[in-house]
Structure 1
Amino acid sequence: MDDLTPDDLHHLRRCVALAREALDAGAEPFGSLLVDPGGTVLREERNETSAGDQTRHPELELARWAATNVAEDVRPRCIVYTSGEHCPMCSAGHAWVGLGRIVYAGSTAQLSAWRSSWGLAAGPVLPLSINAVAPGVPVSGPAPELEVELRELHQRAAGG
């Protein structure tokens, strides 16, 4: 794990707030930001799966938006901050669009362990790390400072 900067933690806290908003709206608790090379937040997204489209993850929505709205030569210098490590679908979308570093608050391994401890079945996609899908993408995380809050959000989402 790379050391997270105060700016990283600031953005990750916003991602957790977006995850809480997603959960309150009936979706799974995930939130993400796209930040340009100068540190400006270009876009915020939260999970929008409550209407039945399970591909409406915030990380993939940011990749789609960046493909249309961020110059190709700028994308590798942008950072995606997210409450939870990208799933394989989102990792692939991120890599195909050519975005840069990913910083996440909670890891796939953490989420898988939590879900297992609550007796939940595994999801329909293998719980792979970002770099197992997109080996060239720089990754930082998790953020131990946010683990308790994230676990509580996911436990609430699980009905616990």
Structure 2
Amino acid sequence: MIMSFLKTCTIYTSDEPCPMCSSAIYWSGLGKLTYGLSKGGYYDVVGRDNPDWVFEMSAREVLKSGKRKVEVTGPFLESEVVELHRR
């Protein structure tokens, strides 16, 4: 019963989730992801200098690799989210 409810829920994030977070979204059973700043936009702000933090696989790629559909929308309001990272 809870899984059928979660399929109707949306998670909203300021940034495009990393692969591990995208996987957690998938495994939690949520039906939709909406995010503000794209992964590329995030790296444009914080840099790509630390190889431990740079992982180029998008949330869409991760979520498409599962058998259950998770709708992904975004990016939205990128310039506003960029300003949050610059503060």
> How many residues get paired?
82
Aligned 8 A contact 2:36 2:78 in 1 = yes
Asked if 1:141 corresponds to 2:66, the answer is no
Greater relative contact order (CA < 8 Å, ≥ 6 in sequence) = 2
Look up the match of 1:31.
none
1:114 Cα offset (Å): 2.2
In structure 1, C-alpha distance between the alignment counterparts of 2:81 and 2:33, rounded to whole Å: 18
* Equivalent residues in 2 for 1:15-94, closer than 5 Å: 71-94=2-25
SS in 1 for 2:40: helix
1:109 Cα offset (Å): 1.4
Under a length normalisation based on structure 1, what TM-score does the superposition of the two structures give?
Answer: 0.46
In structure 2, C-alpha distance between the alignment counterparts of 1:87 and 1:121, rounded to whole Å: 17
The one of 127, 131, 134 equivalent to 2:60 is 131
* Equivalent residues in 2 for 1:96-115, closer than 5 Å: 96-115=27-46
Look up the match of 1:122.
50
User: Are residues 123 and 153 of structure 1, via their aligned partners in 2, closer, same or farther at CA, if it must alter by over 3 Å?
Assistant: farther
Look up the match of 1:40.
none
What is the RMSD computed on CA atoms of the aligned residues?
A: 1.9
SS in 2 for 1:73: helix
User: Are residues 123 and 138 of structure 1, via their aligned partners in 2, closer, same or farther at CA, if it must alter by over 3 Å?
Assistant: farther
| Structure 2 gap segments, 5+ residues each | none
The higher radius of gyration belongs to 1
Under a length normalisation based on structure 2, what TM-score does the superposition of the two structures give?
Answer: 0.79
